[in-house]
């Protein structure tokens, strides 16, 4: 069984982990706020520049060319913003996952220790029950590892799909801008 010192040490470790995760969450929020401030500032500057450019337009053809020239950079900026947003979210999520996996491994180790302790102190004739308990713990650990691998694979596929969509959107914007420029 756990001693009071072990319980206090466990609670202290849990509080430290919680504090660390809270700090990581705030870091993610700070990065998100900074990204949004930069994007807003850039949008305001670009809006002012666009307004100045619109005021200097002499004819409809120049207006169409101006609008077409804005489409590609806008799509690229939206893709870059999405990429930064994804990086912030995945980085913060990775920190949480790492902490969760660490705590889970620690808990699994402690539970295995408790099972071993119980096995050593088990009454004669309970070897079958102890073996079943150890087998159940091993099966649960294997199942969790399989789930972790599946989640990692799904995460990798989602990231690859995100990158493909971003690249595709940027290429479509470039094509549209090129087509509009050729029409002039």
**Residue whose structure tokens are 């990158």:** 163
The percent of residues above 70 in pLDDT, for the chain, comes to 91
Q: What is residue 27's predicted lDDT score, i.e. its pLDDT?
A: 92
- Beta strand residue intervals within the chain, DSSP E: none
Report the alpha-carbon distance of residue 65 to residue 184 in Å, rounded: 7
Q: What is residue 42's predicted lDDT score, i.e. its pLDDT?
A: 92
Report the alpha-carbon distance of residue 134 to residue 128 in Å, rounded: 10
Whether 1 shows a pLDDT value over 60: the answer reads no
Indicate whether this model's pTM tops 0.85: no
Q: What is residue 44's predicted lDDT score, i.e. its pLDDT?
A: 92
Q: Tokens standing for 30?
A: 């700070």
Q: What is residue 173's predicted lDDT score, i.e. its pLDDT?
A: 63
Q: What is residue 138's predicted lDDT score, i.e. its pLDDT?
A: 78
Q: What is residue 182's predicted lDDT score, i.e. its pLDDT?
A: 65
Measured CA to CA in angstroms, residue 150 lies from 37, 92, 138 at distances of 36, 20, 18
Surface-to-core class of residue 30, CB atoms within 10 Å of its CB (0-12 exposed, 13-18 middle, 19+ buried) = exposed
% helix / strand / coil in the chain, to the nearest 5?
Answer: 95, 0, 5
**Which among 79, 81, 67, 71 is positioned nearest to 175, based on CA atoms?**
71
Q: What is residue 32's predicted lDDT score, i.e. its pLDDT?
A: 92
* Through-space distance between the first and last CA atoms of the chain, rounded to whole angstroms: 81
pLDDT in tens, 28-70: 999 999 999 999 999 899 889 988 988 898 988 888 888 877 7
Q: What is residue 95's predicted lDDT score, i.e. its pLDDT?
A: 85
Report the alpha-carbon distance of residue 24 to residue 167 in Å, rounded: 29
pLDDT in tens, 112-141: 777 777 777 777 777 777 777 778 777 777
Q: What is residue 39's predicted lDDT score, i.e. its pLDDT?
A: 92
């Amino acid at each position: 069984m756990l001693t009071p010192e072990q319980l206090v040490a466990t609670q202290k470790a849990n509080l430290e982990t919680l504090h660390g995760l809270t700090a990581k969450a705030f870091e993610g929020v700070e990065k998100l706020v900074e990204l949004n401030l930069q994007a807003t500032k850039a949008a305001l500057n670009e809006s002012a520049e666009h307004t100045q450019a619109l005021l200097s337009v002499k004819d409809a053809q120049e207006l169409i060319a101006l609008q077409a020239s804005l489409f590609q950079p806008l799509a690229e900026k939206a893709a870059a913003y999405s990429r930064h947003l994804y990086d912030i979210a995945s980085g913060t999520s990775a920190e949480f996952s790492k902490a969760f996996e660490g705590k889970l491994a620690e808990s699994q180790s402690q539970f295995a220790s408790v099972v071993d302790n119980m096995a050593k102190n088990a009454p004669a004739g309970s070897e079958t029950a102890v073996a079943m308990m150890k087998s159940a713990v091993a099966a649960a650990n294997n199942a969790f590892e399989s789930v972790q691998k599946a989640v990692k694979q799904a995460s990798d596929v989602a990231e690859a799909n995100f990158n493909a969509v971003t690249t595709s959107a940027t290429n479509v914007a470039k094509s549209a801008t090129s087509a509009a420029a050729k029409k002039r």
